Amino acid sequence: MKLSVWVLMLGSIATTLSWGGLVPTEMEGWVIQVGENAIPSERYAAEEFRRLFKEVVELDLPVETGAGATSKVVSIAPDRPPQGAEPLPEDEESLGYIVDEDSITIYGNRPRGVLYGVYEFFEKNFGVRFLTADHTEYPEIEKGFEIPLGSHSYTPPFSFRWPYYRENAIHPEFAARMRVNTVADDERVGGKTPQSLINHSFFQWCPVDKYGKDHPEYFALVDGERKLEMGGGGPELCVTKPAVIDIVSDAVIEYLDANPYMKNVSVSQNDNDAYCRCATCEAVNQREGTPMGSNLALVNAVAERVEKKHPETKVGTLAYWYTRKAPKTIEPRDNVQIQLCSIECCTLHPINDPNCKKNKEFCQDVEDWKGICDDIWIWNYNTNFSSYDLPFPNLRVIAPNVRFFRDNNAKGIFMQANGNGTAGEMCELRNYVIAQCLWDPNREGWELVEEFCHAHYGEAAGPILEYLTMLHDNAEAAGVHPTCFPTAGEVGLTPEVAAKALEYFDQALAEVQGDAEKKARVEKASICAYKAQVELAGTRFDEGYLVLDVPPERVGLVDRYLDLCRKHEMTMVSEQKAFEEFAKELEPIRKGIPAVRIDTDLWRMVALPQQNGRIAELTYLPTGKNIVEAKHRIFYRHHAFEDWGLEGYDHVKPATFEGSIANQTLTMKKTLEDGSTLEKSIRLGTKDEPTIFVKTTLTHRGPEKKTYQIKAHPEYDTGTGSDEVEDLSVYEKDEEWTVVNQDWNHDEGPNKEKVDTAKGGAFAFFNHEKGYGVLQTYDPNNYEKPRLWWSAGRRQIDLELISKRVELSPGESYAYEYKVDYLDKPPL
């Protein structure tokens, strides 16, 4: 007699177990039967069952088509529902299996339910783990091991699951095993969900190349101008203009006429924030409290027309960046989908962490949209888009974030990562954790991390897990709140942490020296530690060169990093930069960058004439403070105190400066392509006259008149990443000195607009905790305006001085200058 025991019922998971079990090693003579009416994915499911069973049990069961034996059979996609099976929900991926003493039945909805049911069966009953495209873990089964009798059914909570890693896209069979349903058209592996990713699309429906010349009014009015050249796909649209609504609607309907199978279509903003500020658009946005007001009005208008001809197709739009906030009164039509994007959120803390102020507004936006829309999708960010291979401590938030989205009725999730690269920081581990959580949000993220590391790295798992724990603990202790574009400092990395990370990987490699396969896996995982060392290593002046300052055992640091990247086929180091392009940028570090050094009794300066005259060090000797310290900026990207061409002068591909030193002054001069010259002098201060004087002179020597405008770009290290007002103050002088920063958060920091209009010719910052600051003074008559830029995570503040726009005849010159002083007390 069998006694059924109900052991689990969570959402759409149901499992019924019975006393006793089926011994798989005793299944010799069984057959695998697949229904005569099976579709390609179900026939492939039978093949997969045979392959996996042979790997685990070492028995090769034959596959037959059609009904035959009723016992000693593994029935895959039977033509009739199995007796006693509960009806499955109407979901194309609902699955179930029943295990009896003389039969196993795996069934499910089409097109992917049965295939996913096979993978679910082997994961839950044998502990098979699909880790990477070339590594499936098959645990050894003990003698007498039994598969529990009973039934199991499951319906995934998300109908759209996309861990955005290239591994899934180029290995569709592996993606199917991970139940990633968004990348493969092949019917054999189940195809992909008909739901498309909601994405930027205005450029597709109303292209600027087609309409811009004759109808610039169709495009966004920004700063009084219809700007037709714009990054992020092109200019935004004037979304309230009737002609634009007609053009977009007609284009969308024409597209759907040609693709009637589409479940949804994107009608959404391009990827920039230059939305239309014309009077009509602004009136809607002001009334609705968000630029989403006018955007959603257009989307609703298009959706109304689409519904008449394609009633089964929905219109999706992004709630992204400036459109993330829900409007006050305008609600999405029933056939409109909203895809919420979390790009501003902190990636270290769970989105619903009440103590993370960066995430509070997003949580409120989720609540607001949930109240007016029942068709919500999520676009979440899970990598450092500025540096794919830099350590990124967000593994602890993946699972709670997915559960937060599920609990707030999201229907699908796009987990964006380094999908355009073939390697990146712990990419296989991340792909595994994300895919598992999307399939079953009840799984614990860190348990998945441990599971993957032990299975994939073997004996090296211990040091790697210690590294990951240290990385996350350090970031939390540092009090940082990184987004998805952080610097090393913004994720809490320091030179000390980077050095420790590499030590963990040294230990991990030592554990697997005799195993070539595991050694290669550990080497690939270690790339992130090498990148951190490259990013954070110090520099020193050595006989005319600026060189990397690393311990003797790390002398080949850059070479080792590049070798590992090439060995493991890294294609992209960031969202926009190819690896080989980045490798060229690193070349000067191999031998050092040519540099000049000048010392007085008060200051020491190291300059890089061949790097556009950049300053690598400016140290105030009484305190030893380098006010342009680069510990939180990568070594090869020093860009303090250089001049950028805005008009008439190309600083991107300039001739190299020639430097000379005389009387505490460094003079750097270069000749431009047309024979014009740019000369920059920096006179260091002394104890008798402590001020530093910086002067740039441009002499035009071209054949005709030419207009120039240049930006002076001095850059200072603030010495803090804190956003507390009392730690750091920023000052500008107009009629009198004024503190202009409310806090030091990247999004709500100094009042830049106030600085931009200041006429007093002075700017300063002061770190109250560290007791130092910088005063910069200039003649406002020589400049069009100052412009402030800051970043708490980079510990950096700039006062960029925009020169006047001048027209020079051949032989004429234009000069501008500014002064720098070290502060040991605030200017107030």
Q: Torsion over CA of 801, 807, 813 and 814, rounded to 10 degrees?
A: -20
- Name the residue among 560, 490, 507, 570 with its Cα closest to residue 530: 560
- Residue bearing tokens 């002075």: 762
pLDDT at residue 743, as a whole number: 63
Residue type, 136: T
pLDDT at residue 5, as a whole number: 28
- Residue 413 Cα distances to 273, 340, 482, angstroms: 23, 10, 21
In sequence order, the 6+-apart residues with CB closer than 8 A to the CB of 352 are 359, 363, 400, 404
Whether residues 582 and 600 fall in one domain: no
DSSP for 536-561 reads H-EEEEETTEEEEE--GGGTTHHHHH
Whether residues 317 and 232 fall in one domain: yes
Beta-sheet strands, E only, within 56-125: 63-65, 73-76, 95-99, 103-108
pLDDT at residue 10, as a whole number: 35
- 421 with 572: CB under 8 angstroms? yes
What's the structural domain count of the chain?
4
Whether residues 588 and 671 fall in one domain: no
pLDDT at residue 636, as a whole number: 52
Residue type, 643: D
d(CA 579, CA 570) in angstroms, rounded, equals 7
Whether residues 553 and 605 fall in one domain: no
Q: Does residue 462 lie within any of the structural domains?
A: no
Whether residues 546 and 640 fall in one domain: no
Whether residues 95 and 240 fall in one domain: no
DSSP for 133-179 reads TTEEE-PPPPTT--EEEEEEEE--S-SEEEEE-HHHHH-HHHHHHTT
235 class by beta-carbon count within 10 Å (0-12 exposed, 13-18 middle, 19+ buried)? buried
Last residue in a domain, options 155, 177, 211: 155
- 793 with 482: CB under 8 angstroms? yes
pLDDT at residue 7, as a whole number: 30
The boundaries of the domain holding residue 313 are 195-330
pLDDT at residue 549, as a whole number: 86
215 class by beta-carbon count within 10 Å (0-12 exposed, 13-18 middle, 19+ buried)? middle
pTM exceeds cut of 0.75 = yes
pLDDT at residue 97, as a whole number: 96
pLDDT at residue 545, as a whole number: 92
Q: Does residue 379 lie within any of the structural domains?
A: no
Block means of pLDDT (10 residues each) for the chain, length 828 residues? 29 60 96 95 98 97 85 91 84 95 95 98 98 97 93 96 96 98 96 96 97 97 93 96 98 97 96 96 98 98 98 98 97 98 96 93 96 97 96 98 98 96 93 98 98 98 98 95 90 93 98 96 98 89 90 91 96 94 87 92 94 91 88 54 89 82 94 92 97 97 94 87 66 88 59 73 90 94 86 78 95 96 93
Q: Does residue 120 lie within any of the structural domains?
A: yes
Whether residues 578 and 605 fall in one domain: no
Whether residues 602 and 588 fall in one domain: no
Q: Does residue 617 lie within any of the structural domains?
A: yes
Last residue in a domain, options 134, 155, 176: 155
Q: Does residue 686 lie within any of the structural domains?
A: yes
Whether residues 714 and 604 fall in one domain: yes
Whether residues 571 and 503 fall in one domain: yes
Q: Does residue 765 lie within any of the structural domains?
A: yes
Whether residues 145 and 35 fall in one domain: yes
| Residue 647 bridge partners (DSSP) | 709
CATH of the domain at 127: 3.30.379.10
C-alpha 192: how far from its chain's center?
Answer: 24
Residue type, 296: L
Whether residues 550 and 479 fall in one domain: yes
Packing angle, helices 40-57 and 113-126, rounded to 10: 10
State the pairing for strand pair 545-549/593-594.
antiparallel
Q: Does residue 125 lie within any of the structural domains?
A: yes
Last residue in a domain, options 558, 592, 626: 592
DSSP state of 24: G
pLDDT at residue 721, as a whole number: 57
- 414 with 197: CB under 8 angstroms? yes
- Name the residue among 541, 548, 527, 524 with its Cα closest to residue 456: 524
pLDDT at residue 759, as a whole number: 83
CATH of the domain at 611: 2.70.98.10
pLDDT at residue 589, as a whole number: 79
Q: Does residue 425 lie within any of the structural domains?
A: no
